[in-house]
Structure 1
Amino acid sequence: MKLRPAIGRWVARADRLNDWRRTRLHHARPRHPLEIVPYLGFGTPQRLQLGGRVLRLVEHRAPQADDLAWRNLVAIYRRMASDEVARARVRASLGGLTVETRADDEGHFQLAIDTGTPLEPGWHAVALELLAPLAPGAAPATACARVLVPPPAARFGVISDLDDTVLWSDVRNRLRMLALLLRSNAYTRKPFEGVSALYRALHRGAAGGEGNPVFYVSSSPWNLYTPLTDFLRLQGLPEGPLMLKDFGDHMLFEPLDHARHKLRCIEQIFGTYPGLRFVLIGDSGEHDPEIYAEVVRAHPQRVLAVYIRSVDPNPARHAAVAQLAEGVRRARVPMLLVPDSLAVARHAADAGWIAPQAVESVRADQREEETAPRVSADAGAEDGRQPPPAQAAT
């Protein structure tokens, strides 16, 4: 008998039993105030897609730039130890339209609203209300979800990974990744040099004001949704939907779940915008090149380019990515293994996807980030990131 799958099944059964116990307790007699945590949604003028999570209310202290490591550790622990409300009933309202849904066993809910009258482009507010369970004496839990309808001027969309693509996480070294996560917050984590200016340029497009939508698809857990959205806002990155993963036993015992999650999310985005092509951005640390190559094979006409940030200095990994890139190029889609954001900006400007002057903005942003103070991941490191390797295959 293979031990790892067996352990995974045992953990999954224990998790389901615990969810069932908590569901009975929450629905029979909620002991604490509850909250709805809405996620940024997306859609079209005719149909909106959104979601969120129902949790036991926990007050979270806002992070500060000078927070000590122990404060960050406590904050992360409180988020990872969230107490979800399984099978909660939620109602969404937009104008005179209402839709009701029920959360899953982890408190997550997803719903769609058919708008009838087409909506204008931009962000739309959808009111959320918790219908059940209700804590005795507590005010009804409400929230506001914001949903993006891209403008007709959008020429393409961007689908980007987060860890080791936008911000340094070192997912290949789990201990270092954990240390960096526990010692930092949205203020002290920094993006890779030039990322903010690059993504703003892609969002604006070559003509400026195109409003090209940006989607962040990551295997980070939903528990980190608020810190990640805070990070994007503080770093001036374009606002866009985050599509994360549930934190549970499958993250430890299903190694292929990372790829399945990303492919499922990309298919959902592609299906929502059938007339839009996309730029895919990831890194060489885990499986982004393989995932994006599979996307190109399935949808060769939907992908403009694939950019892979080089974070793994192993020559064997460079060779593997180069082989994938050769296969992708047969579909007439460039896949570039790049050392930094400036290399992406140059290629995108040459292709006519961003304004030529945006290249200098990325260069300036890169210089500024290189001199900015950074959080240490361990006592022996000077900063919380590693510079990308100088060598890169294209």
Structure 2
Amino acid sequence: MGWFSKDPLQIIAFHSYGSNSHFFARGRALEDESIDLMRKNIFSMVINTYKTFETDEIKNTKLNLKLPNNKILKAVTDNNGYYKFDTSLEDLKSLTNEEGWLQFELSYDDVNINRTIQNQNRFPGEMLIPSKKAVFGVASDIDDTILHTGVVSTLKWRVIYNTVFKNVKRRLPLEGAAEFYHLLHQGITGDNANPIFYVSHSPWNLYRYLEFFLKQNNFPKGPILLRSFSDFLNRKRLKDKPQKQKEIVNLLKTYPDLPFILIGDSGEKDIDIYIEIAKAFPKRILAIYLRSVKHKKKMIRVKTLADSYNEVPILLVKDSNEAKAHAKKSGFIV
């Protein structure tokens, strides 16, 4: 566990999702590198980025998870410090708040650990179980859908520049996105608590960066679904489905009675992924909104695919107002 290091220990809980009978929580145990996302000078931001990707994992270590009813679950971190609690339990909805969030507490199993901050071996976490009032879910991409990243730029140089050299507080969301997502979350009654799931090809190392960005810019709270850094670096095998697609498919299987709205952009492969999902889950996709990007060839290709598939409304939108108008007309929002 790196006993000779001076950095305190921490347990990061990723916002996860489950059901009334399925508890699922994941995250990572790391040494606390004191990453300050508010730093503004370039040197500090470069150091932050280095710390984000050069992590000191707490490997093969026992963890405890305490539920509000005092039930204790146990797990062990893997060689990269990741942990997963995945088990069947009863009546989990009775432990949630009105929005569907179930709060729990994580700790290191070893009672002699004294390297946590202020020796408090307690770390909060949350899991979402969609409210009974929810009438649909939203699965949204992050990159160039709600956050300018430049995924269509040459050699992805703009993504690298924005991540390394831009303070997260200076990163601006696409105009009107937060308001639109709140309207979708509130639904037609104003208190539907429709769940919002944020899906990205980014690695889990950027979880805290993206979580801070969403909170800073007043987006509805929701699970953030990313992928491991090793998968991010390695080219996927030809027959493998993209991680984003796997996550959305799992959402549809986890909540079989909940239709979904899919939101992405026209710059990458969202159109291919979303149409394939819509074909695999007939009548489960209410609409697909794709933000237009400044790339002529990609836009022609996306428009051709959208025009050739008529089973689900597919809108190429320049801004949130266009998506909002369609959602209102369709009875998704007021």
From 65, 88, 111, the equivalent of 1:92 is 65
CA–CA separation in structure 2 for the residues paired with 1:305 and 1:104: 39
Q: Percent identity?
A: 32
Change (3 A) 1:323 1:87: farther
CA–CA separation in structure 2 for the residues paired with 1:256 and 1:204: 39
Conserved 8 A contact 1:88-1:133: no
2:34 matched to which residue of 1? 59
Read off the aligned partner of 1:319 and give its amino acid letter: I
From 139, 161, 164, the equivalent of 1:179 is 161
User: Residues 267-346 of structure 1 correspond to what in structure 2 (within 5 A)?
Assistant: 267-314=249-296, 316-329=297-310, 332-346=311-325
Q: CA deviation at 1:186?
A: 2.5
Q: CA deviation at 1:147?
A: 1.4
1:388 matched to which residue of 2? none
CA–CA separation in structure 2 for the residues paired with 1:301 and 1:183: 43
Conserved 8 A contact 2:267-2:295: no
Aligned residues: CA RMSD: 2.3
Read off the aligned partner of 1:231 and give its amino acid letter: F
2:76 matched to which residue of 1? 102
Read off the aligned partner of 2:132 and give its amino acid letter: P
Conserved 8 A contact 1:129-1:140: no
- Taking structure 2 as the reference length, the TM-score comes to 0.89
Change (3 A) 1:282 1:237: same
Structure 2 gap ranges (5+): none
Q: CA deviation at 1:134?
A: 6.9
Structure 1 residues 158-167 or 112-121, which shifts more? Answer: 112-121
Structure 1 gap ranges (5+): 1-25, 356-394
1:386 matched to which residue of 2? none
From 7, 14, 39, the equivalent of 1:39 is 14
| Partner SS for 1:275 | coil
CA–CA separation in structure 2 for the residues paired with 1:189 and 1:318: 25
Conserved 8 A contact 1:41-1:48: no
Q: CA deviation at 1:277?
A: 0.4
User: Residues 85-164 of structure 1 correspond to what in structure 2 (within 5 A)?
Assistant: 85-94=58-67, 95-120=69-94, 121=98, 122-131=100-109, 139=119, 141-164=121-144
| Partner SS for 1:328 | coil
Conserved 8 A contact 2:37-2:48: no
CA–CA separation in structure 2 for the residues paired with 1:221 and 1:83: 16
| Partner SS for 1:217 | strand
Structure 1 residues 71-80 or 340-349, which shifts more? Answer: 71-80
From 249, 252, 264, the equivalent of 2:233 is 252
Q: CA deviation at 1:58?
A: 1.7
| Partner SS for 1:44 | coil
From 62, 78, 98, the equivalent of 2:51 is 78
- Taking structure 1 as the reference length, the TM-score comes to 0.76
Q: CA deviation at 1:294?
A: 1.2
Q: CA deviation at 1:141?
A: 3.8
User: Residues 190-269 of structure 1 correspond to what in structure 2 (within 5 A)?
Assistant: 190-248=172-230, 250-255=231-236, 259-269=241-251
Conserved 8 A contact 1:89-1:103: yes
CA–CA separation in structure 2 for the residues paired with 1:137 and 1:107: 16
Conserved 8 A contact 1:307-1:335: yes
1:189 matched to which residue of 2? 171
Change (3 A) 1:231 1:100: same
CA–CA separation in structure 1 for the residues paired with 2:45 and 2:35: 11
2:327 matched to which residue of 1? 348
Q: CA deviation at 1:140?
A: 6.7
CA–CA separation in structure 1 for the residues paired with 2:285 and 2:112: 46
Whichever of the two has the greater Rg, that structure is: 1
Change (3 A) 1:133 1:164: farther
Q: CA deviation at 1:304?
A: 0.5
Read off the aligned partner of 1:337 and give its amino acid letter: L
| Partner SS for 1:187 | helix
Q: CA deviation at 1:57?
A: 2.3
Change (3 A) 1:118 1:310: same
CA–CA separation in structure 2 for the residues paired with 1:220 and 1:337: 23
Read off the aligned partner of 2:305 and give its amino acid letter: L
Change (3 A) 1:30 1:146: farther
